[in-house]
Amino acid sequence: MADTAAVQVEGLTKSFGETTALAGIDLQIREGTVLGLLGPNGAGKTTAVRVLATLLRPDAGRALVFGTDVVRQPAAVRTMIGLAGQFAAVDELLTGRQNLRMVGRLYHLSPAEVRTRSDELLERFDLVDAAHRPVRTYSGGMRRRLDLAASLLNRPRLLYLDEPTTGLDPRSRADVWQMIKALVNGGTTLLLTTQYLEEADRLADQISVIDHGRVIAEGTADELKSSTGGQVVEVRVTRAADVGRAVDVLSSIGDADATRTADHVATVVAERGVASVADAAEALRQAQLDVTDLALRRPTLDDVFLDLTGRAVEPEPSSNGDRPHGRARRGGAEARV
């Protein structure tokens, strides 16, 4: 099969009263690839998915799924897609198995297929032991996995995952990522929305950054990172109250304006590499700030987002304010004082 566009979106707009959710976005997903739709809360990600899933009619523009128009032939589109929502749309009172079987029946699978496919998915998503329990007894991670399983019953050619790990603890998130990876390796085309940069970085082939209902940047994770240019100096202070002063100090070394990127962290683009770190270290010493970490590293998608929008993405909901991708930082060039 030739390169087919799994999704082709042109000039899509949607407003709710005064609020513009989509201000004309264009997207394209090649079959068998993963597009990460990255943006903060309220950027329009969910609205875009709802239009593509035939749940919402756009005001203008066009959206095709494997060449089929979502507005004109919604019923045909529905046979090709799977949707796992932001708020796991599973039935609390039914058991895990009953949930899957119900969705299977609604996809008009044969009774035998309903049974085998449900069992297969329970196995794959590690839910066999809990299959007979009502979903209300499930943990958040188990619900997401069940929701994901339900979206796969009809072996969709295209899967929409709307913030699949929002609100999950890091461990459950890693589990869900692993399962998504396996899906993608199996050839499923995926549209993934996320506000977690690490998630897009890990799972997506292409990333579209959206903000205020517009695509403000697109490319691979590497392309987006190199668009920010150079490296960044990142300072982690001991006391969150000092972060404002750290921003001032970093701005004073003359490379660029620094920004607060997390509770304890200030970041600045380092135009001069190690020389910038040396200046930063000297300036911090003079300001007598308590610093736990000072590093020169390659930009992350966080920096890209910050660079594009002037705002940091929502902090990750983890216990100590550390963003998980901080752990991946070791890969970059690093200098310590």
Partner 1 sequence: MTTATIDPTGTAPSTPRITLGTALSDAATITGRYLTHIIRQPRLLVFSTIQPVMFVLLFVYVFGGALLQSPAIQEYGSYKDFLLPGIFVQTVAFGATQTAIALAEDLNKGVIDRFRSLPIARSAVLVGRTAADLVRGFAVVMIMTVVGLIIGFRPQFFGLLAAIAVVVAFGFAMSWIYAVVGLSVPTSETAQAASFVVTFPLVFASAVFIPPTTMPDWLRVFAENNPITHVAEASRALATGIGGVAEPLLWSLAWIVGLLAVFVPLAVNRYRKMS
Interface residue list for partner 1 (CB under 8 A): 1, 50, 53-57, 65-68, 73, 75-81, 83, 85-94, 98, 102-103, 105-108, 134, 150, 154-157
Q: For the sheet containing 81-84, what is the strand order? A: 81-84, 158-162, 189-194, 34-38, 206-211, 214-219
Tell me how long the chain is: 337
Cβ-based nearer residue to partner 1, 17 or 331 = 17
**Greatest pairwise CA separation for the chain in angstroms:** 74
Cβ-based nearer residue to partner 1, 73 or 226 = 73
Closest CB 206 distance from partner 1, rounded Å: 22
Contact indicator for 263, 321 with CB cutoff of 8 Å: yes
Helices (H), 125-262: 140-150, 170-185, 197-203, 221-228, 243-252
Contacts of 10 (CB under 8 A, 6+ apart): 26, 61, 62, 63
State the amino acid at position 166 in one-letter form: T
Closest CB 120 distance from partner 1, rounded Å: 15
Closest CB 54 distance from partner 1, rounded Å: 7
Tokens of 286: 């003079």
Q: What is the DSSP string of 73-125?
A: -HHHHHTTEEEE-SS----SSSBHHHHHHHHHHHTT--HHHHHHHHHHHHHHT
Classify 300 in phi/psi space as left (phi over 0), alpha (psi -120 to 50) or beta. beta
Closest CB 93 distance from partner 1, rounded Å: 4
Closest CB 107 distance from partner 1, rounded Å: 6
Q: Of 85, 115, 111, whose CA–CA distance to 98 is shortest?
A: 115
Cβ-based nearer residue to partner 1, 88 or 266 = 88
Cβ-based nearer residue to partner 1, 42 or 273 = 42
Closest CB 84 distance from partner 1, rounded Å: 9
Cβ-based nearer residue to partner 1, 81 or 179 = 81
Cβ-based nearer residue to partner 1, 143 or 323 = 143
Closest CB 53 distance from partner 1, rounded Å: 5
Cβ-based nearer residue to partner 1, 183 or 217 = 183
Contact indicator for 186, 178 with CB cutoff of 8 Å: no
